[in-house]
Amino acid sequence: MSDTTPTAARELSAQYQPAEVEQRLYEGWVAAGVFAADPASDKPPFAIVIPPPNVTGSLHIGHALDHTIQDSLIRRRRMQGYEALWLPGMDHAGIATQNVVERQLAASGQSRHDLGREEFVERVWQWKAESGGKILGQMRRLGDSVDWDRERFTMDEGLSRAVLTIFKRLFDDGLIYRAERIINWCVRCHTALSDIEVEHSDDDGELVSIRYGEGDRSIVVATTRAETMLGDTAVAVHPDDERYKHLVGTLVELPLTGRSIPIVADPHVDPAFGTGAVKVTPAHDPNDFEIGQRHSLPSLTIMDETGIITVHGPFEGLDRFEARPAVVAALRAEGRIVAEKRPYVHAVGHCSRCGTTVEPRLSLQWFVKTAPLARAAGDAVRDGRTRIEPPELAKRYFAWVDNMHDWCISRQLWWGHRIPVWYGPAGEVRCVGPDEEPPGEGWTQDNDVLDTWFSSALWPFSTLGWPADTPSLAKFYPTSVLVTGYDILFFWVARMMMFGLYAMEGRQPFDVVALHGMVRDQYGKKMSKSFGNVVDPLDWIERFGADATRFTLARGANPGADVPVSEEWCQGSRNFCNKLWNATRFALINGATVEGDLPSAAELSTVDRWILSRLADVTETVDRHFEAFELAKVCDVLYHFAWDDVCDWYVELAKPVLTGEDAAAAGRTRRVLGHVLDALLRLLHPVVPFVTEELRTALVPGGGSIVTAAWPAASPEARDTAAEAEVAGLQRVVTEVRRFRADQGLRPGQRVAARIDGLEGAGLSAHSVLIRSLARLDEPGDGFAATGTVAVGGGVEVALDTRGSIDVAAERARLTKDRAAAEKEIAQCRAKLDNPAFTEKAPAPVVGKIKERLAAAEADLARVSAQLAALAG
């Protein structure tokens, strides 16, 4: 071992074992406070607030992707000298958390009503303390470099104050109101749902066509929810539909009810769909509600909050799904069923928490008047205060904010921020702010709580101390970038934009919205338990390490695009980490160092100048891709530089120098090797933090953590196109000889006598020793006879004597077959090119392709013929 080998080099084990490294390193980082952000710092700020995972949640593959992207961005900025804040926290997840605790109570034969509201809420807090937030520990396993001292929870004291403050302001500004509207209702959870809490799937149903009225005054409508006809208050047709103009304004009898309802003309109706006539049930369909409002129709609620029919008559007391076939049977008995289609596949909404079919329901709820807030959110993107990446997804954003409906913010739950509105004995209504005392005796507070998305919409500024004017708010708001999936662009991002601009007087909550896609399997299929293709990132971390898991996800992370992954790719990422480990270990054993100045270009060999030039190009390219949030390209560039340029070429080219007799040259190469590895590890650190920390600690003993090491700066002066061209020529020679050897069936380590001609003319004569070392070629001795020739190009030709190393008869048979294939290709190409009907009519690029094929085939024929001639000799 060289005397220059750092002592730390001996501490690297023969193999990289992530389980022995990751936890130790992470605990050390946290203890050292390297993730902490100081608002008093004079460094430029860079801030990301983590999309808060649910307190009930566990790290799934989507979280792992999202966190890997965020961590890569924050680690790079920290190394670049920014005051980098990545703020962690959790969402209280109103419905999901309440369901968890209610299931626990049900197991002991109790319900929340047995406990009462206060005791139930206390029980939920107890559950959070004992069992909630497991995902925070899992984030540590992934390597999240968040500032744990700043951890927030949407129900903590500070954030609760922020919720009450903004509710009061919105209420006083007339932007919060209470009204009866159609909302998504879960009959199992007994609460309104936001759009994002409704999951749609294509379900089998039944489409029935029903005749209302008699004779030429009758009209046929179709529905998949026959039971809702009990609440019909009109039939609607398009104003321009000639088939029904004579019926508009007349009455038609609603079957089974004895009621007469009007036929109205409304432009919402699509005359090409079905019969062109639709039943209107304003209390149980959002579109019907709007029609009802335009035509002053009554709204009849036909079922209660549990989905039980409440209309007096034979169907009263039936569940909605029991009532559906019962109503159809009754209509059939009266001869009202014109047609039935089953199964009829249609989109059906389900509660994302319990899977129950969602019921559109007219209900008295609290709403945010979104029009002015949404307009401001659209303007912030249009005028460039916030940039959406990739830019093409801005169209989706505008489609949402420019057409946003008022937002239902009340939930019929006990767990959450209770609506701060009180009702007086004489019908008075009072909104109470955080610094106001509730009204006295005789007043009651609204029972509902706020939608979880209401508090999470405040996340970018409430977590920094708002409504107080804190140093953190002044330093880190607006936050720099929001990283999240495109699937919640509408539901969460738009809400944060609206509230951030409103609360912070027109200052956007983030400068950039960087959107990524969904994680899919290697075939592009959505992950689903039913498909059996769901990946547990914790399983991958356990088996392959956090770095391999992160690198696998990052390699597919292009802005806005879905991310395919597979276990095989994760194994490949683990192999990449091992490759880094082995290369660094080799370098350390052979004395690679970062001590002392880097030698000048004039002192360095062509190979050393080449690798430094490649490093300069890679650093510049990586920076460019990071700025464009193209993490997949970052990983691809670094993977090939590390594996191909550094490990497969530079390390191999350096070996003869490191073990040679020229001590000065060896010393210079040791310094270049140390410099390149140091820069490579720092470039890779944001994506694979653990292995890079362990390796750099060995490479730079006493150099501190890589977390706070300086990000490599691109060095344009290090670019050396001449060196790159020269080494590229060397690589071509070695690659072609290796390919020939493989074709001949020669073992990789088997040495073969060879004569190399043309190196001087190609400017490669100085690399003769290296070429022979890498290609396993000996000097030709007495009795040398070429049995194979490799024409490399550029005038370089390598003749090899493979006698005794290969089966000459078998090789001659293989080459004869290759010659026949080349001759056949040449004949086919020439036939096309000699045919005027082809050359005159085919597009120029097609003709060009045929010419390229002909040239390649002719080159193959020349090469194979030369090899056959050599064997014959």
* Annotated binding-site residue numbers for ATP: 529
Distance CA(85)–CA(167), nearest Å, equals: 28
Distance CA(348)–CA(366), nearest Å, equals: 25
DSSP letter (8 states) at residue 433: -
- DSSP states of 260-327 as a string? EEEEEE-TTS-TTSTTSEEEE-TTS-HHHHHHHHHTT------B-TTSBB-SSSTTTT-BHHHHHHHH
Distance CA(87)–CA(36), nearest Å, equals: 10
| CB burial readout 723-761, b (16+ within 10 A) else e | bbebbebbbbbbebbbebbebbebeeeeebbbebebbee
Answer whether 86's CB lies under 8 Å from 52's CB.
no
Distance CA(773)–CA(586), nearest Å, equals: 18
Q: What radius of gyration, in Å, describes the C-alpha atoms of the chain?
A: 36
Closest listed residue to residue 67, CA positions, set 577, 537, 705, 542: 537
Using CA atoms, how far residue 680 sits from 140, 234, 577, in Å, is 24, 71, 13
Distance CA(375)–CA(873), nearest Å, equals: 84
| CB burial readout 831-842, b (16+ within 10 A) else e | ebeeeeeeeeee
DSSP letter (8 states) at residue 228: G
Q: Which residues are annotated as a binding site?
A: 529
**797 phi/psi in degrees, rounded to 5:** -140, 135
Using CA atoms, how far residue 318 sits from 73, 327, 553, 629, 722, in Å, is 56, 11, 50, 55, 85
Answer whether 483's CB lies under 8 Å from 69's CB.
yes
Answer whether 689's CB lies under 8 Å from 707's CB.
yes
Distance CA(590)–CA(659), nearest Å, equals: 9
Tokens encoding 351 = 């509660």
